[in-house]
Amino acid sequence: MNRLQQLFQHKKKDILSIYYTAGYPNLPDTLKIAEALEKSGADFLEIGFPYSDPVADGPIIQASSKQSLDQGMTLQVLFDQLKDLRKTITIPILLMGYVNPVLQYGVDNFCKACKEVGVDGCIIPDLPMYEYEEMYRTCFEENGISNIFLVTPQTSEERIRKIDGLSNAFIYLLSSAATTGKNLDVSTAARMYFTRIQAMNLNNPLMIGFGISDKQTFDSANEYASGAIIGSAFVKALSAEGEIEENISAFMKQFR
């Protein structure tokens, strides 16, 4: 059982996950940000490895990815930065990004590197489910890496059941099919969508992402899931003037 699975076994509600882009705002900041987030009360982290064509990301995360890439971030640089991760970080860590860099790195090499540095899971939104099941699942599971699938309002019940069967940590419930950075819209349609998923009584817990930006939207998401994921709002906070650790502490105080 990895750290991520242990977290969801012992904590059922109010789980806070933070996404940020590796190597942003400055290339060496990746581990420093993780340490500050754990200190400030984050339950687990999603570290994004940037890609040149981030189709699902809104402008804030796109800009952070470009800056990170321009500064020299690659998967190998990220793994080098994370080699001492578990000397200071105890909470679960996921890597999130697009499949192309993973394929270039080699899926076997990627999974082994994740295990070596202490990464617990991955979110690769454009990795087809059938490819994961037929080609990569064994590699992920042998290295103790949880693969996280995404569900949108348009996802069929059949596919959601299939995702639930392939998952062993949590399911990432997108608040909408839009790009990241939009505010959470808890409209009648959104509530019906969240309630419909709740009523399926899935085996895996749910985390809601896309549009969670403050205490109000975080609390709204918690009505329907085990917790929520904050990305664009946090990345924006990282770009503010001042010391990174102070900016992180100030941002996190609204939640913890």
Active site residues: 46, 57
Distance CA 56, CA 72 (A): 22
Q: Could you give the angle at which helices 30-39 and 244-252 cross, rounded to 10 degrees?
A: 40
DSSP structure class, residue 28:
G
Encoding tokens for residue 96?
Answer: 């999130």
Angle (nearest 5°) at CA 233 between 228 and 239: 145
**Angstrom distance (rounded) from CA 76 to CA 90:** 22
Are the C-beta atoms of residues 47 and 20 closer than 8 Å to each other? yes
Identify the DSSP state of 107: H
Residue 18 bridge partners (DSSP): 45, 230
Give the chain's count of helices (H) and strands (E).
14, 9
